[in-house]
Amino acid sequence: MTSYLWMWVAIVGAGLLAWATKYAGHVVPERFLENPRVHRIAAYVTVALLFALFAVQAFTTDGAIVFDARVVAVAVAAVLLWMRAPFIVVVVAAAAVAAVLRLIF
Amino acid sequence: MARLNPGRLSLRGLDPARQQAVSVSVATGAYAISFGALSVAAGLDVWQTMALSLLVFSGGSQFAFVGVIAAGGGAAAAVATSTFLGLRNGFYGVGLAPVLRPMSGLRRVWAAHMTIDESTAVSLAQPADDLEARRAGFWWTGVGVFILWNTITVVGALVGERIGDPADWGLDAAAAAAFLGLVWPRLASRPAQAVAGASAVLALLLTPVTPAGVPILAAALVAIAVGWRAPKFRDEVPE
């Protein structure tokens, strides 16, 4: 199969797994998920994956650690988040900062 | 919960649950434009981008899927990361079940698909003794976000297709900022900050020596290690 077809398989697979996860929550007996350890790990998994995604997206290129315009852009994003700016403002500001820096240098 | 900023929209004639549902739907739907653009920048086409929003329908999982692809990871790593990030939705279902039951089979299939950060948050924000408001909050937010999220995804994907090199427009930085924005509300507690810091260090250390996608999945090990033992104080665990 081509990589294009594999991508479709992955998308449909991700969709089915996402739905199955949600559905499981609606039908499992509550005591299965009452285990505090399961709760803690689930909460931390969200933080761990999202922050790892952030780090890889911000500081790596093609398998190497790279510091470029993105560093300034995410610093601006962090300040905006700290100031409670809306999500879309944060994302657009980060893009603008990186784009302008690359235009200048 | 993802960001909830009901804003100051005036929606006269609607009760509080439905008002919140509409404003949350608009605020959440708006950032589908960044998802659409980033997905195309990662190399997916417009149809694939639309399919992700329709089928996965969970912002964090979708951003993660295209983030792994953009980093050069394989399809399997993208599916695994997306699924791990969607695990929290399973817990939302547990919280919503007493609100939504009894449900027929088909209705439950659809309710499961609508189970996301926003629909759960609006539903459970209504008074506990007002079951009707909680149900309205869930369905109105779920369906409202679904309609707007999918519509605006298309707009983002079409815009993203026409702009040439994504880096010239800072879209790589935008993706990083999006992940930071998604995780930000969950970083309030010390243990959460420690998990985040350790995950970033581990992912960066692994990046030069493992295939793309692995560094991100490895961060889940940090979560297991930290979450295994009970915290000293109960309120330290993030939602």
Distance to chain A for B127, nearest Cα, Å = 21
For position B7, what pLDDT does the model report?
A: 45
Look at B10 and A57; give whichever has higher pLDDT.
Answer: A57
Q: Which residue has the tokens 């960044």?
A: B34
Average of per-residue pLDDT across B64-78: 93
Interchain proximity A102–B207, CB inside 8 Å: no
pLDDT over 70 at B239, yes or no: no
Q: What is the pTM of this model?
A: 0.81
Mutant choice from A53, A81, A97, A103 vs B, greatest count of B C-beta within 10 A: A53
Percentage of residues of chain B with pLDDT beyond 70:
92
Percentage of residues of chain B with pLDDT beyond 90:
54
Distance to chain A for B151, nearest Cα, Å = 16
Q: Which residues pair with A64 in a beta bridge?
A: A61
For position B9, what pLDDT does the model report?
A: 46
Q: What is the predicted ipTM?
A: 0.89
Annotate chain B with three-state secondary structure: CCCCCCCCCCCCCCCHHHHHHHHHHHHHHHCHHHHHHHHHHCCCCHHHHHHHHHHCCCHHHHHHHHHHHHCCCCHHHHHHHHHHHCHHHHHHHHHHHHHHCCCCHHHHHHHHHCCCHHHHHHHHHCCCCCHHHHHHHHHHHHHHHHHHHHHHHHHHHHHHHCCCCHHHHCHHHHHHHHHHHHHHHHCCCHHHHHHHHHHHHHHHHHCCCCCCCHHHHHHHHHHHHHHHCCCCCHHHCCC
For position B10, what pLDDT does the model report?
A: 52
Percentage of residues of chain A with pLDDT beyond 90:
64
Query: Chain A residues with CB inside 8 Å of B237's CB?
Result: 39-40, 43-44
Average of per-residue pLDDT across B124-148: 94
| B235 confidence band (pLDDT: 50, 70, 90) | low
Domain boundaries, chain B: 16-184, 187-239
**Tokens (6 digits) for A24:** 């499981």
In this predicted model, what pLDDT tens digit does every residue of B186-204 receive, in sequence order?
A: 899 999 999 999 999 999 9
For position B1, what pLDDT does the model report?
A: 41
Report d(CA B88, CA B134) in Å as an integer: 20
Cα Rg of chain A (Å, integer)? 19
A104 at the B interface (CB within 8 A)? no
Query: Chain A residues with CB inside 8 Å of B55's CB?
Result: 11-12, 14-16, 18-19
In this predicted model, what pLDDT tens digit does every residue of A1-24 receive, in sequence order?
A: 678 999 999 999 999 999 999 999
**What rounded mean pLDDT belongs to chain A?**
91
pLDDT over 60 at A89, yes or no: yes
Q: Which residue has the tokens 């093609």?
A: A62
Tell me the backbone φ, ψ of residue A64, rounded to 5 degrees: -125, 150
